[in-house]
């Protein structure tokens, strides 16, 4: 019997299906579910500037456990089957993280404080060599490190600037090696969202230091961190930064060790990746499907065609009129639609760009006046979502508290409509008549190609020579010196952190500040936000940040993503979330219908 839900866009951005209760049953032997993914996996370390992509973090989420995670309402949930955390002191502010006894990596090695200590070292920046700039060591074509750092330089390319940089003192190990206590220099409002276990300490240390024994490797890593042994830390940091990048199944199986319900067991470059239920997993998120196959299909219509043919069971393609029309034709399938947390945006490079034109704020603002935001929305999004509106805040989600007030005062209205005369006037003030703007985007994404074409035609009217810097490796090229002048892509929020603006706008952030944006006034406001608990005061600070970012000609947000997910009726439990990892947030709840 045909079962279909109508394609109706939800009124609220975060309105999604009800949360499903966790499954406690065992794996159904011989079962496989196949998912279509739009981008291939390429790094098992999504905490680096190179590996920071949903294509990587989604897989790592399914193969590793954390102290907490977001469900699809979205609400933060604790996973106490993995470990626990608690505030042990308010002043000074200290938080203790404890791994539950018996929790192991998929190779059988215990998860312990050495793993927690490595996560702190890698993501706090506390041990990094002061003043070192890694930009000169990055390959402009691949985005990866192309040469070794100078001897003795320690550089963990982790998420500095997300709050963990406030833990400058080496954390204290306790509880027989199962806990770690972090001491913050000052209170941090989003402390629950900044820390967790990342890569396995024993694997990193064995490969970095040439050791073979797991415990000796852990001990060596802990000692190197506690004594600030720069010789060993330089090797540990280098392997942490680069050792987990691979585009097919690595010969060294240590590189796919994890703590979650699934592990990577097969990976064919450009084709598919296979996850298999982890037999050593003892947590609460026990999987039902024995295998999850992730097929890489970059073209949305090709993904829909694979779904129609039964080659994939679950698909969440970028929606278009053609995509939706084809999906609703598929028999024995359920189709869900709504609005996603992701949003499309255009960022301009403030430094290290291809042409250097956008170093000048007048040129940045002139270019933004040519971007046909409304035309892009009307032609590409409104046909899918009749009530779609421009997103006009760099920091607030549409519909959230503070959004309307911020938009009213952030001067985003200056860029609602194309203003060619205004753009020409600003270029004249800058003394330029034909500046180049090379845009980086994904050439395999039809919607993004259409956006580029509309921008190119409009900007040409003001004298801009907009050129094509597109690349299928666009994600790896973000932040690379001299590679492009502007970037067109989507940001996918991973949390509801009040201080998440730091990722994009703090001067020292390596997370999403890939356009070298820097404003001391914004940094100071973010510093205030870090320690502000009152919600009204938080909104006031965010409004000020929003206005400053717009005034600097940072770029323009375009629209929130409409979303569509379809799954075969032989699969149950699929219930997408607006936050990353969207589709896979409850992969352990997915189950074959025939088993019930």
Task: Give the span between the Cα atoms of 591 and 596, in whole angstroms.
Answer: 9
Task: Give the span between the Cα atoms of 578 and 359, in whole angstroms.
Answer: 35
Number of neighbours of residue 146 by Cβ within 10 angstroms? 12
In 3-state terms, the chain is what percent helix, strand and coil (to 5)? 35, 20, 50
Residue 498 lies in a domain: no
Residues 6+ apart with CB under 8 A from 192: 68, 76, 85
Global pTM reads 0.85
Residue 95 lies in a domain: yes
Whether residue 239 is preceded by a cis peptide bond, meaning omega within 30 degrees of 0, is no
Bridge partners of residue 355, in order along the sequence? none
411: left (phi over 0), alpha (psi -120 to 50) or beta: left
pLDDT at 1: 29
Residue 267 lies in a domain: yes
Residues in the chain: 596
Q: Are residues 153 and 267 in the same domain?
A: no
Of the three residues 212, 242, 272, the one that is the final residue of a domain is 242
Range of the domain at 112: 65-197+200-242
Q: Are residues 176 and 117 in the same domain?
A: yes
Domain count, the chain: 2
Q: Are residues 123 and 223 in the same domain?
A: yes
Q: Are residues 226 and 289 in the same domain?
A: no
Residue 397 lies in a domain: no
- Residue among 471, 527, 400, 502 at smallest CA distance from 143: 471
Q: Are residues 212 and 263 in the same domain?
A: no
Q: Is 460 buried (19+), middle (13-18) or exposed (0-12) by CB count in 10 A?
A: middle
Q: Are residues 207 and 311 in the same domain?
A: no
Tokens of 219: 């001990």
Q: Are residues 91 and 234 in the same domain?
A: yes
Q: Are residues 272 and 210 in the same domain?
A: no
pLDDT at 476: 85
Residue 233 lies in a domain: yes
HEC per residue, 211-275: CCCHHHHHHHHHHHHHHCCHHHHHHHHHHHHHCCECCCCCCCHHHHCCCCCEEEEEEECCCEEEE
- Decide: helix, strand or coil at residue 88: strand
Residue 191 lies in a domain: yes
Q: Are residues 263 and 236 in the same domain?
A: no
Q: Are residues 209 and 300 in the same domain?
A: no
pLDDT at 161: 67
- Residue among 48, 90, 101 at smallest CA distance from 191: 90
Task: Give the span between the Cα atoms of 173 and 117, in whole angstroms.
Answer: 8
Residue 123 lies in a domain: yes
Q: Are residues 94 and 120 in the same domain?
A: yes
pLDDT at 510: 75
Residues 395-401: contacts with CB within 8 Å, 24+ apart? 395/501, 395/542, 395/545, 395/546, 395/549, 396/542, 396/546, 397/13, 397/14, 397/341, 397/493, 397/560, 398/13, 398/560, 399/12, 399/13, 400/13, 401/535, 401/539
Q: Are residues 287 and 232 in the same domain?
A: no
Bridge partners of residue 85, in order along the sequence? 97
For residues 437 and 467, the answer to whether their CB atoms sit within 8 Å is yes
> What angle do helix axes 230-242 and 113-124 make, rounded to 10 degrees?
90
- Tell how many helices (H) and how many strands (E) occur in the chain: 16, 18
Number of neighbours of residue 11 by Cβ within 10 angstroms? 10
Of the three residues 211, 242, 273, the one that is the final residue of a domain is 242
Task: Give the span between the Cα atoms of 276 and 293, in whole angstroms.
Answer: 9
507-539 burial, b for 16+ CB within 10 Å, e for fewer?
A: eebbbbbbbebebeebbebbbebbebeeeeebb
Instruction: Please report the beta strands in 250-388, taking only residues with DSSP state E, as ranges in sequence order.
Output: 262-268, 272-277, 289-296, 314-315, 333-348
Reading the chain (596 residues) residue by residue, the pLDDT tens digits are 223 323 333 223 333 333 333 334 589 999 999 999 999 999 999 999 899 889 999 999 999 999 999 999 899 999 999 999 999 999 999 999 999 999 999 999 999 999 999 999 999 999 999 999 888 898 877 888 988 999 999 999 997 668 899 999 999 999 999 999 999 999 999 999 999 999 999 999 999 999 999 999 999 999 999 999 999 999 999 999 999 999 999 999 999 999 999 999 999 999 999 999 999 999 999 999 999 999 999 999 999 999 999 999 999 998 888 999 999 999 999 999 877 888 999 999 999 999 999 999 999 999 999 999 999 999 999 998 888 899 999 999 888 899 999 999 999 999 999 999 999 999 999 999 899 999 999 999 999 999 999 999 999 999 999 999 999 889 889 999 999 999 999 988 888 888 889 989 999 887 789 999 999 999 999 999 999 989 999 999 999 999 999 999 999 999 998 889 999 999 999 999 988 899 999 999 999 997 44
Tokens of 128: 């990094």
- Domain harbouring 584, CATH code: 3.40.190.10
- Domain harbouring 213, CATH code: 3.90.76.10
Residue 169 lies in a domain: yes
Task: Give the span between the Cα atoms of 579 and 73, in whole angstroms.
Answer: 9
The C-alpha angle 181, 187, 192, rounded to 5 degrees, equals 60
Of the three residues 182, 216, 242, the one that is the final residue of a domain is 242
| Helix (H), strand (E) at residue 437 | strand 436-440
Rounded to the nearest 10°, the torsion over CA 49, 54, 58, 61 is 40
């Amino acid at each position: 019997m045909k079962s279909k839900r109508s394609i109706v866009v939800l009124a609220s951005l975060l309105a999604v299906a009800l949360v499903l209760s966790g499954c406690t049953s065992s794996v159904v032997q011989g079962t496989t579910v196949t998912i279509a993914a739009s981008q291939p996996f390429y790094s098992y370390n999504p905490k680096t500037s190179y590996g920071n992509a949903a294509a990587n973090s989604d897989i790592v989420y399914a193969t590793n456990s954390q102290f907490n995670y977001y469900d699809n309402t979205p609400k933060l949930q604790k996973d106490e089957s993995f470990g626990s955390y608690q505030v042990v002191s308010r002043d000074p502010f200290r938080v203790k993280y404890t791994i539950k006894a018996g929790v192991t990596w998929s190779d059988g090695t215990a998860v312990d404080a050495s793993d927690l200590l490595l996560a702190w070292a890698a993501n706090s920046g506390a041990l990094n060599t002061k003043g070192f700039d890694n930009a000169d060591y990055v390959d402009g074509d691949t985005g990866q490190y192309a040469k070794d750092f100078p001897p003795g330089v320690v550089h963990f390319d982790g998420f500095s600037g997300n709050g963990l940089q406030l833990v400058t003192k080496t954390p204290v190990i306790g509880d027989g090696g199962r806990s770690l206590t972090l001491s913050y220099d000052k209170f941090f409002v989003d402390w629950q969202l900044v820390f967790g276990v990342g890569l396995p300490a024993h694997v990193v240390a064995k490969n970095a230091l040439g050791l073979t024994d797991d415990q000796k490797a852990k001990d060596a890593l802990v000692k190197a961190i506690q004594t600030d042994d720069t010789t060993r830390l330089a090797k540990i940091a280098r392997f942490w930064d680069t050792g987990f990048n691979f585009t097919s199944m690595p010969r060294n199986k240590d590189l796919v060790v994890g703590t979650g319900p699934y592990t990577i067991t097969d990976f064919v470059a450009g084709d598919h990746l296979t996850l298999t239920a982890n037999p050593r997993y003892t947590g609460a998120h026990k999987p039902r499907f024995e295998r999850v196959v992730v097929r890489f299909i970059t073209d949305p219509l090709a993904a829909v065609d694979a779904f129609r043919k039964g080659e994939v069971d679950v698909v969440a393609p970028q929606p278009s009129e053609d995509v939706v029309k084809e999906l609703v034709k598929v028999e024995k399938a359920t189709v869900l639609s709504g609005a996603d947390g992701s949003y499309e945006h255009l960022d301009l490079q403030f430094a290290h760009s291809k042409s250097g034109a956008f170093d000048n704020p007048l040129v940045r603002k002139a270019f933004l006046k040519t971007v046909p935001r409304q035309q892009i929305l009307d032609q590409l999004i409104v046909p899918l979502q009749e009530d779609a509106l421009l997103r006009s805040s760099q920091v607030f989600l549409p519909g959230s508290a503070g959004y309307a007030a911020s938009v009213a005062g952030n001067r985003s209205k200056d860029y609602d409509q194309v203003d060619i005369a205004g753009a020409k006037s600003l270029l004249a003030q800058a003394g330029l008549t034909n500046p180049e703007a090379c845009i980086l985007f994904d050439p395999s994404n039809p919607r993004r190609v259409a956006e580029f074409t509309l921008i190119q035609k409009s900007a040409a009217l003001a004298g801009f020579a907009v050129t094509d810097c597109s690349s299928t490796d666009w994600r790896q090229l973000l932040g690379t010196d001299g590679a492009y002048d502007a970037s067109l892509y989507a940001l996918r929020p991973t949390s509801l952190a009040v201080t998440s603006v730091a990722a994009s706008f703090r001067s020292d952030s390596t997370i999403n500040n890939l356009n070298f944006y820097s404003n001391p006034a914004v940094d100071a406001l973010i510093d205030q936000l870090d320690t502000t608990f009152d919600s009204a005061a938080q909104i006031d600070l965010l409004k000020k940040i929003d206005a400053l970012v717009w005034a600097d000609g940072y770029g323009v947000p375009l629209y929130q993503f409409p979303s569509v997910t379809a799954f075969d009726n032989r699969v149950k439990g699929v219930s997408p979330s607006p936050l990353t990892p969207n589709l896979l947030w409850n992969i352990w709840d997915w189950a074959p219908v025939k088993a019930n």
